[in-house]
Amino acid sequence: MHIPASMLTGAICPVTAAVSVAGLGIAVAAAKKSENKPSNTKFAAVTALIFALQMLNYPVQNGTSGHLVGALLGVSLLGTPFAVLSMAIVLAIQSIFFGDGGINALGANILNMSLIAAGLGGYIFHTLKNKGVNGHLALGSASLLSVLAAAFACSLQVGISGTVLFTQVLPAMLSVHVLIGIGEAALTV
């Protein structure tokens, strides 16, 4: 799901970078206020696990790829603000040391997989649990929805950039990521 920098044009990179910086600032503030802080060891172990899971890439179409995101796995083990930060660390390391997505696309990738997948996914998970939905069902549903929401955002950004038509990239991304989302939901639960 990492968007290569070559697929983003115009204002997408600076706008997504600004949104990501603001979102990470909110996550840091929420993490500081959190009463359930994971230990440093647990945070590092979960971050390393998510990093390893994301290394398994599946080609989708037109230079995009699909992989497990791990956002709700992070939410379930660390809490939402720490999962957002963990995902951002994973994405920064992948971008800087492995060229996965590239520096210019880092803001878009953090927006998609950290803020949307972990942040929005965590919100969906907690909302479902608060409405009385079974914990496992809530976790699995939020996991699937988080992957699909991130894939939709990725498709939208590529479509706005004009490198691939939105009507072409969206079905390609969602068809692969619905399968990835189902697998990720099962793994997370």
Q: Is 98 exposed, middle or buried (0-12, 13-18, 19+ CB in 10 A)?
A: exposed
Neighbouring-strand partners of residue 66: 58
Give the HSE-up count for residue 65: Cα atoms under 13 Å, Cβ half-sphere.
14
Whole-angstrom distance, CA of residue 92 vs CA of residue 75: 19
Structure tokens that stand for 91 in this block: 């994405």
pLDDT at 5: 79
pLDDT at 9: 87
Assess contact for 54 and 90: CB atoms under 8 A: yes
Assess contact for 143 and 70: CB atoms under 8 A: no
Q: For each of the chain's 189 residues, which pLDDT tens digit applies? A: 678 778 898 899 999 999 999 999 999 999 999 999 999 999 999 999 999 988 877 665 655 566 788 999 999 999 999 999 999 999 999 999 988 778 999 999 999 999 999 999 999 999 999 999 999 999 999 999 999 999 999 999 999 998 889 999 899 889 888 988 998 899 999
Q: Is 183 exposed, middle or buried (0-12, 13-18, 19+ CB in 10 A)?
A: middle
pLDDT at 182: 94
Whole-angstrom distance, CA of residue 122 vs CA of residue 46: 16
Whole-angstrom distance, CA of residue 182 vs CA of residue 145: 9
pLDDT tens string 12-57: 999 999 999 999 999 999 999 999 999 999 999 999 999 998 887 7
3-state secondary structure of 31: helix
Q: Is the full-model pTM beyond 0.85?
A: yes
- Tell which phi-psi region holds residue 132, choosing left (phi > 0), alpha (psi between -120 and 50) or beta: left
